[in-house]
Amino acid sequence: MLKIYNTLARDKQEFTPITPNTVSMYVCGMTVYDYCHLGHARVMVVFDMVYRWFKASGYDITYVRNITDIDDKIIRRAAQNNESIHQLTQRFIDAMHQDADALGVQRPDHEPRATQFVPEMLAMIAQLEANGLAYQAADGDVNYAVRKFDGYGKLSGKSLEDLRAGERVEVTTDKHDPLDFVLWKHARDDEADEVKWDSKWGKGRPGWHIECSAMGSKLLGEHFDIHGGGADLQFPHHENEIAQSEGAHNCQYVNYWMHNGFVRVDNEKMSKSLDNFFTIREVLKQYDAEVVRFFILRAHYRSPLNYSDAHLDDAKKALDRLYTALKGSGEAGGVDWNESHAQRFKAAMDDDFNTAEALAVLFDLANEVNRTQSAEAASQLKALGAVLGLLERDPTEFLQGTGSDDALIVEQIAARNAAKQAKNYAEADRIRKELLADGIVLEDSAAGTNWRRV
């Protein structure tokens, strides 16, 4: 039985889908005005893992990850770059897809863009207005009246009083309450036509929060199973989504809220404002994408994850061990779920997606492969790895990686073997040492000499 830590309950709960064997999952995606960094990589990889585990468990899952392609930062950046909003967002959507593909992240079933769902957002705002939860302020913005919604704060555990209205929230006099948030931003004269839509409240564009509410209910229904995102979205974004969706539809919005932990650098949250972020493509110049994926999955998704070269180096060595065990093994069959390792793996995954434990099982399995040379164990290792989107490449290809001239290495090895034949061990060792200096490790075996890059 699958258990999920539900932020709404602050507890692990058994997962019961609304419709048997079916899962509807929405995850907040990126605002596309720049390259994705490792924090974004974590959301994508974590929920990709969740997506894969539901599928492996026999569920029919529909996964939606939105794209925010209209927003203040986008408008500002496009103006800076002197390009259109569409050019800018398309460029970074393409880049995001490249990064996600490299990390082995499967495409969600839907990737709705906010700009394509403006009519749905307007309909929802109208419904909120009709329900007495939204009002147009003097400045033209349409705001959500937070105090009119009883359940406000139930996700984040914050009470309106605790939020100390106005202390850190910029007070806009046109709002009825400082904590009211904007649903529809009135258009400004200096903005491009591209960011203006007609509405009964005048020209303008949607607020951030309404995007997810509208796209979620349009694609998954007014009530769906799982909503995910980074822990920083809990408040106010997800709290506001609940207020909007439940306020408009008068029914529960989401059953399970999942939040992944942050990627940190030097024990601080990786973020744009601290300027301590590494983009995915930057990291991939130095490390294999699968190593990065492994690094992310090696920790539990709710734990903080410290990023450093040392940690990536460590992950690389660990993953080397798994691939080394698979060297020379054939194609994997399907997972034999009755086998003991697979059962431990499943138990770990069913326990709130404990990939750290699931990977530990893979190492135990690697030990068995090394010890017994069992083809079944190797197949099982490969198959279980594939469930997590790992170990799917040719082991030799992975271990050798890419770098300077492979042909030259093969030549050197031949020369060394000749020296060995002649019992000229000094020469053989010299060649080996020379290769090692270039990061090439040789491994002699009965079948010949293998090599890999460290």
Which residues ranging from 291 to 350 are in contact with RNA (CB under 7 A)? 298-300, 303-306, 310-311, 314, 317-318, 321, 324-325, 348
Q: In the complex with RNA, which residue's Cβ is closer, 17 or 41?
A: 41
Q: In the complex with RNA, which residue's Cβ is closer, 250 or 367?
A: 367
Q: Which of residues 141-160 bind RNA (CB under 7 A)?
A: 156-158
Residue 252 burial (CB count, 10 A)? 15
Is position 10 an interface residue for RNA (rule: CB under 7 A)?
A: yes
Q: In the complex with RNA, which residue's Cβ is closer, 13 or 18?
A: 13
Identity of the amino acid at 52:
R
Assigned token pair, 36: 């994705």
Among the residue ranges 91-99, 113-121, 223-231, 403-411, the one whose residues contact RNA (CB under 7 A): 223-231
What's the closest the beta carbon of residue 120 comes to RNA, in angstroms?
19
Q: In the complex with RNA, which residue's Cβ is closer, 407 or 426?
A: 426
Taking CB under 7 A as the criterion, the residue among 26, 144, 262, 353 binding RNA is 262
What's the closest the beta carbon of residue 439 comes to RNA, in angstroms?
12
Question: Residues 225, 23: contact at Cβ < 8 Å?
Answer: yes
Taking CB under 7 A as the criterion, the residue among 267, 338, 402, 421 binding RNA is 267
What's the closest the beta carbon of residue 445 comes to RNA, in angstroms?
6
Q: In the complex with RNA, which residue's Cβ is closer, 28 or 388?
A: 28
Taking CB under 7 A as the criterion, the residue among 17, 230, 385, 395 binding RNA is 230
C-alpha distances (whole Å) from 235 to each of 21, 132, 240 are 31, 23, 8
What's the closest the beta carbon of residue 352 comes to RNA, in angstroms?
7
What's the closest the beta carbon of residue 109 comes to RNA, in angstroms?
19
Assigned token pair, 117: 């769902």
Q: Which of residues 36-65 bind RNA (CB under 7 A)?
A: 39-40, 42-43
Work out whether strand 60-65 and strand 134-136 pair parallel, antiparallel, or are unpaired. Answer: unpaired
Q: In the complex with RNA, which residue's Cβ is closer, 255 or 260?
A: 260
Site size toward RNA, by CB under 7 A: 83
Is position 400 an interface residue for RNA (rule: CB under 7 A)?
A: no
Q: Which of residues 234-253 bind RNA (CB under 7 A)?
A: 234-237
Contacts of 393 (CB under 8 A, 6+ apart): 290, 323
Peptide bond into 236 cis (omega under 30): yes
Binding mask 76-115 for RNA (x = CB under 7 A): ----------------------------------------
Binding mask 359-388 for RNA (x = CB under 7 A): xx--xx-xx--xx-----------------
Q: Which of residues 21-40 bind RNA (CB under 7 A)?
A: 28-31, 39-40
Is position 285 an interface residue for RNA (rule: CB under 7 A)?
A: no
C-alpha distances (whole Å) from 110 to each of 51, 97, 296 are 13, 13, 24
Q: Which residues of 410-440 are buried (b: 16+ CB within 10 A; e: fewer)?
A: eebbeebbebbeeeeeeebeebbeebeeeeb
Taking CB under 7 A as the criterion, the residue among 216, 229, 385, 395 binding RNA is 229
Q: How far is CA 417 from the centre of its chain?
A: 47
What's the closest the beta carbon of residue 20 comes to RNA, in angstroms?
27
Rounded distance between C-alpha atoms, residue 317 and residue 237, angstroms: 39
Q: In the complex with RNA, which residue's Cβ is closer, 17 or 288?
A: 288
Rounded distance between C-alpha atoms, residue 341 and residue 351, angstroms: 15
Rounded distance between C-alpha atoms, residue 358 and residue 342, angstroms: 9
Rounded distance between C-alpha atoms, residue 248 and residue 145, angstroms: 13
Strand partners, 67: 113
Rounded distance between C-alpha atoms, residue 253 and residue 240, angstroms: 11
Q: In the complex with RNA, which residue's Cβ is closer, 18 or 374?
A: 374
Q: In the complex with RNA, which residue's Cβ is closer, 54 or 92?
A: 92
Question: Residues 316, 291: contact at Cβ < 8 Å?
Answer: yes
What's the closest the beta carbon of residue 267 comes to RNA, in angstroms?
5
Contacts of 138 (CB under 8 A, 6+ apart): 174
The values of phi and psi at residue 135, to 5°, are -150, 150
Rounded distance between C-alpha atoms, residue 365 and residue 280, angstroms: 31
Among the residue ranges 134-142, 195-203, 390-398, 426-434, the one whose residues contact RNA (CB under 7 A): 426-434
Q: In the complex with RNA, which residue's Cβ is closer, 220 or 319?
A: 319
Rounded distance between C-alpha atoms, residue 201 and residue 199, angstroms: 5
